[in-house]
A and B are shown apart, each in its own frame.
Chain A
Amino acid sequence: MASVNPTEPLVASDIRITDPEFRRFCDFFYRRTGIVFGDTQRVYVDRRLADCIVAAGSRGFAEHFARLLVEPREMERLISLFTVNETYFYREEYQLRCLTSTLLDGIVARKRIGQPVRLWSMPCSTGEEPYSIAIWLLENWAEVDRWDIEIIGSDIDTKVLEAAEAGEYSERALMRLPRPLVDKYFTRIGDKRYRIDEGLRGSVQFSRVNVIDQAEMARWRGIDVVFCRNMLIYFDEVSRRTAAGNLYDSLAPGGYICLGHTESMSRISPLFEVRRFPDAIVYQKPEEGGHA
């Protein structure tokens, strides 16, 4: 327990997390998010937890833990502090190339005119990935005006979703985007800060989703491609399988999952077929049948 004078303002270094508190917290966080922390991440967890306790004005772990159970805003703050959000535009460009060189041809071949093409970025963090998909399609897909394209960005962290909707980025987030595209789709709003084009902002729909929550995921069906990079690596085996099953259910028959380049769905779930295309390896929900 932290021994502090209740009249003094608390600083993060005052907070001590005991072993049972650490285990209790990890268990709680895992059940709510599917994300696993072990003893090797003890220092990381303790530091962020202490930051959270101080930022919320709680007097220690016990009080803060009680608040987490009843105050959704504190839970959101916690998730925001414990999930990694750094990304940039045109990250893993080979997958975007695969989308327009291969995946979309098969997807639209199964559709009638008027049926939407639904692309899902999850976790989308502050919006770099879903906006990259939109820019990539505008620049590289000859059929971009022929289909009703829905791009959805989802994350468990509501804070990053707010930032995604605001659409403001540092120069660093734009470092991989060719300069003509920065000039075309962004307005400079200050020292090394840029705001994304209004039309692009309107072309992506943002929504909070917890991938391991089956009821939440049931709202999302008929997705053609999910970009799900570097999320499953935070989960343990059970959560990974739950997430894979939920994603499978959200996909349209023949839909694809694109994972991060170090990840493999084959080790997580037998539900998907591995497809090795020239630009990328992706995972496909079979067109017929599948699990009930």
Chain B
Amino acid sequence: MRDGPASARVLVVDDGSLIRLYYREALEAAGFEVAEAINGIEALEKVLTDRFDLLIVDINMPKMDGVSFLRTLRARDGEAGAIPALVISSEAGEQDARDARAAGANYYLVKPVAAADLTLHVAVLTGTPSGGALA
């Protein structure tokens, strides 16, 4: 068992392996616990069997994209359906952000996102301003 306060748990959903690694390294260095999924289908399986405090979701992914994933997730009752979601996409258009919000995204960032910005947003969205530790 770990000592000290539990860390906020973040699921990174992105089909780019280097991108997942980049986000994971940044978040772990800031004290968050990180799990990964390579598309919406794998992400759904993980949120239904594990507990997360935040989802980081890419839009363009094979098999199930980010918007479909969020729609499917938000249609569910219970805790999993309400997990906050930060969408980080390469699509910079206003319509893309609107679609993501309509599907259930809580916040929308356009790539590239610097490590410091990422951890700041994740800290705010998980309510853990001091390095990932849950009060």
Contact = CB atoms under 8 A, between A and B. Distances in A.
Verify that A and B bind, or say they do not.
yes
A223 interface: no
B21 A138 contact: yes
B9 interface: no
A168 B107 CA distance: 40
Contact of A149 (B18, B91, B112): B18
Interface range on chain B (Cβ under 8 Å from partner): 20 to 34
B51 interface: no
Contacts of B20: 199
Given A145-B112, A146-B111, A138 B90 contact: no
A178 interface: no
B90 A137 contact: no
B21 A200 contact: yes
A55 interface: no
Nearest to B114: A142
Interface residues of A, number: 20
B6 interface: no
A120 to B, nearest CB: 15
B17 interface: yes
A27 interface: no
A184 to B, nearest CB: 7
Contacts of B112: 142-146
Interface stretch (B22-30, B40-48, B72-80, B120-128): B22-30
A148 interface: yes
A203 interface: yes
A151 B19 CA distance: 13
A9 interface: no
A224 to B, nearest CB: 15
Given A148-B16, A149-B16, A199-B21, 20 more contacts: A114-B60, A114-B90, A137-B18, A142-B112, A143-B111, A143-B112, A145-B16, A145-B22, A145-B112, A145-B113, A146-B111, A146-B112, A147-B90, A148-B15, A151-B18, A199-B17, A199-B20, A199-B24, A202-B17, A203-B18
**Closest CB pairs A-B (n = 5):** A199-B21, A146-B111, A203-B17, A113-B90, A146-B112
Interface of A: 113-114, 134, 137-138, 142-149, 151, 184, 197, 199-200, 202-203
